[in-house]
Amino acid sequence: MKKVLCFGDSNTFGFCPKDGSRYPVNVRWTGILSSELKNDFEIIEAGANNRCAFSNNPCDKTLIGTYIIQEYIKLKPDVVILAVGINDVQKIYDNGEDKIYQGIKKLVKLIKDNNVSNIVLIAPSILKQQILNSAFSSLFDMKSIKKSELIPKIYEKVSKEENLYFIDLNKIAETSDIDGLHYSEESHRKIANALAYFLKSQKFD
């Protein structure tokens, strides 16, 4: 049975925009995925609130993707799903298009250097205007929204250059109208269904 590492941020963790709790295992997309694919894949849930892909998160080293990914790689996954990067557009980091491109390339290289070739790079859904009036307004601004709109293009480019699988969540689900950042239960279900179909359709080495 192949191991699939789902490495990501609060939307991988299962943050509920209504009350800040964690969605139950049968609601968050990683949990649904685990249930639906239990006969074919072992799903490793590795989401964390406020995790970045590459930015130097001042809160905790485990929230820096390029730092903590090497610990998860020790679990020897056959496939890595990278669902991270939206926190890198927080205003504190001031990351532009090139920094995002170089940062995600660095994260991918770290995984490849640990002999994992099956990498699925997932572009997060863009931020909505509602985030400016949410509990996260101190972290994200209008520039953050604009930068989030660049991520799909950047990730697709990196995927082509690095021979990765690429999935754009903007074609599958949108962020909640509550905070403009996190997903509803329905969106988690859509994401899980799309990824389940994708994983079952691939013949990974």
| Residue (of 117, 112, 105) closest to 78 by Cα position | 117
Q: What's the total number of domains in the chain?
A: 1
In the numeric block, the tokens 């074609």 are attached to 171
Predicted local distance difference test score (pLDDT) of residue 203: 85
Strand (E) or helix (H) holding 43: strand 41-47
How many angstroms separate the CA atoms of 118 and 116, rounded?
A: 6
With b for 16 or more beta-carbon neighbours within 10 A and e for fewer, the 159-172 pattern comes to beebebbbbbbbeb
Predicted local distance difference test score (pLDDT) of residue 99: 98
The stretches of 52-176 forming alpha helices (DSSP H) are 65-73, 97-112, 142-148, 151-162
Predicted local distance difference test score (pLDDT) of residue 101: 98
Predicted local distance difference test score (pLDDT) of residue 163: 96
- Show the domain range for 169: 2-201
Given a contact cutoff of 8 angstroms between Cβ atoms, the answer to whether 52 and 84 are in contact is yes
> ∠178-83-183 over CA atoms, to 5°?
15
Predicted local distance difference test score (pLDDT) of residue 49: 98
Strand (E) or helix (H) holding 7: strand 2-8
Residues 6+ apart with CB under 8 A from 171: none
What are the average pLDDT values for consecutive 10-residue runs of the chain, which has 205 residues? 96 98 98 96 98 95 96 96 98 97 98 94 98 97 98 98 98 97 98 97 86
In the numeric block, the tokens 């990730």 are attached to 155
- pTM attached to this predicted model: 0.96
Q: What is the DSSP letter of 53?
A: S
Q: What tokens were used for 176?
A: 């909640």
Instruction: Specify the CATH number for the domain of residue 34.
Output: 3.40.50.1110
